[in-house]
Amino acid sequence: MSSYTVSWRVQARVDAPSCRDAAIAALKKYRHSPHSIPSVCVLDKTGEKHDVVLSGFPYFLLTARETEVLSLLLLGYDNNSIGAELHLTERTVKDRLSKLMHKVGVHNRVQLAVAAATLDAGQPAQRDMSRYRAALDALGPKRKHIAALVREGLTNRAIAQVLGTTEGTIKGYLKSIYDALGVSTRLELANWMLSLGPLTRLGETMSPPAA
């Protein structure tokens, strides 16, 4: 273990086995997220400066219980099912999720799942993407665009504003999308879309349908 001085808006003196571990320990101590502080300066015992860039989902900010809740959320569990699995009340699950969203800097459970899936450094499982892409293409331009906006964590109201329509219309489209893709919730749809990989690979999916 070595002693390091970690600097961003404040300074923290920590003992850690490496510069990166020191940066993580300092941020964890002050409950800062790499979303707001993507890099820090670390001064080692010799006086040498190291710029440490932190990327990926901030799992180090989460408690063990919060990590368990997040894992079940990513599997599509609702609050009641998460509570039953972890022997927690539904109110406690809501509180855990609220704290998770605050730490990550998002506003709803879909945005939380999207952040975890897109920022996690882990490699996605290998699968036959042709079937997924064919199902996506069968949706048509407008439904594909709505599905992509759900993937981004937008609410029905926000999607309606983007497309210049009503929330009721978006709800109708979403029901059609759920039936077509074999999913039953907004979170399942977001996870289904995330399984296709980075948005840059979806091409026209993110483009508004032609008028």
How far is residue 18's CA from residue 20's CA, in Å, rounded to a whole number? 5
**Proportion of the chain above pLDDT 70, given as a percent:** 77
Residue 28 has pLDDT above 80, yes or no: no
pLDDT for res 168: 94
pLDDT tens per residue, range 121-170: 333 333 455 667 778 888 888 999 999 898 888 889 999 999 999 999 99
How far is residue 119's CA from residue 59's CA, in Å, rounded to a whole number? 10
How far is residue 109's CA from residue 94's CA, in Å, rounded to a whole number? 10
Kindly give the residue spans of alpha helices, DSSP state H, lying in the chain: 19-30, 64-74, 79-86, 90-104, 109-119, 129-137, 141-151, 156-163, 167-181, 186-194
Q: Which residue has the higher pLDDT, 198 or 103?
A: 103
Lowest mean pLDDT among 27-36, 79-88, 160-169, 188-197: 27-36
